[in-house]
Structure 1
């Protein structure tokens, strides 16, 4: 049994290690033994917090999706314009393309949300592994649905705020939010598959153009 007071950190270490393991070996290649190795703990510690591999995958997926909401909410300020809020959101859910392949995964806010980080390449791989698994797994589908519903609510609030101020021309905030999030998910998969835009630009410009149309730019 872990030392008293170490539970939150140990649990976070196991989740981070699980995501790192999945990004490198895939869900099928992820084992509790490998997770323990990445977390620098015993397999007993892993099973103490998570009953089995399936339970660990679900909790890791939930933490992975929650990461984006925590980062976005920590960076958005009430004094920002709606355009700036959308810019912060896009920066987090579809980061500018980067060659960054180094660094550890940290989806825990125990040390402060600013310390939370997932290398860009790992983000793309995790999306691919989790979503391919979710196609046939109702438990993971529930995690996806709950996470994305919250994301859509957040985008709707920004679009409604922009419409109220007259900064945006959004007739249906729900459809606009749904469309933007669907676009981000699709572009993330295109990145994983290395499907480059015809003009050679970072594919996130497609989302940026979509937002510009909403603000009449």
Structure 2
């Protein structure tokens, strides 16, 4: 049995190892034995906290989705304009394309927010793995639904704030948020599928232009 006080650390290590394993081998290729190897622990430690592969997959998906919200919340400030807040949202939810393969996956807050990281190539692979499985897995669908509903509420609040403060012109913050999030999901899939825009380059400019339309008042 793990030592007393080690639970948060062990849980974080196992979740990080699971995400790493899924990024490398896919969900179908992820096993508890491989996760234990990546985490540097025994299979018994993995099953002590997560009873089976399905449980571990769900918890890893939750951590993957929560990562983006945590990074966004850590940088938002009340003194920002709505446009600045939306810039923070887009920076994390659809990050600029970059090569940062030297970094490791870490979705734990235990070492501080600045240490949390998912390399962009891993983000793409994880995005594809989880979302393709969620199409047929009701449990993963529920995790995704709860996460996206929370995202929609948060983005709508920023649009509403911008409208009330005169930073933006938004008739329906909920619809504006829905459109932006749907666009980001689509752009993310296009990235993974290597479908370039007509202009080429990083496709995130499309979401930036969408937001800019509400700011041009």
Fold match by TM threshold 0.5: yes
Q: Secondary structure at the match of 2:107?
A: coil
1:71 and 1:138 mapped to 2: Cα distance? 27
Partner of 1:85: 85
| Deviation per residue, 1:126-145 (Å, 9 max, x gap) | 11000100011000000000
Alignment correspondent of 2:105: 105
TM-score, normalised relative to structure 2: 0.98
Q: What CA deviation, in whole Å up to 9, does each residue of 1:16-73 have, x standing for no partner?
A: 0000000111000000000000000000000000000000000000010001111100
Task: Render the CA deviation track for 1:50-97: whole Å, top value 9, x for unaligned.
Answer: 000000000000010001111100000001111000000000000011
| 2:62 counterpart residue number | 62
Aligned residue number for residue 127 of structure 1: 127
Distance 1:162 1:11 in 2: 39
- Residue 201 of structure 1 and its aligned partner are, at CA, apart by 2.4
Distance 1:58 1:117 in 2: 19
- In structure 2, the partner of 1:45 is 45
SS in 2 for 1:66: helix
TM-score for the superposition, normalised by structure 1: 0.98
Q: CA RMSD in A?
A: 0.8
* Partner Cα separation in structure 1 for residue 103 and residue 35 of structure 2: 17
**Unpaired segments of 5 or more residues in structure 1?**
none
- 1:105-137: CA deviation from partner (whole Å, max 9, x where unpaired): 000101111211000010111110001000110
Match status 1:140 vs 2:140: yes
Structure 1 segments of 4+ aligned residues over 6 angstroms from their partners = none
1:115 — aligned with what?
115
| Whole-angstrom distance in 2 between the partners of 1:86 and 1:56 | 32
Q: Which runs of 5+ in 2 are unaligned?
A: none
Tell me the CA shift for residue 200 of structure 1: 1.2
- Where 1:107 maps in the other structure, the secondary structure is coil
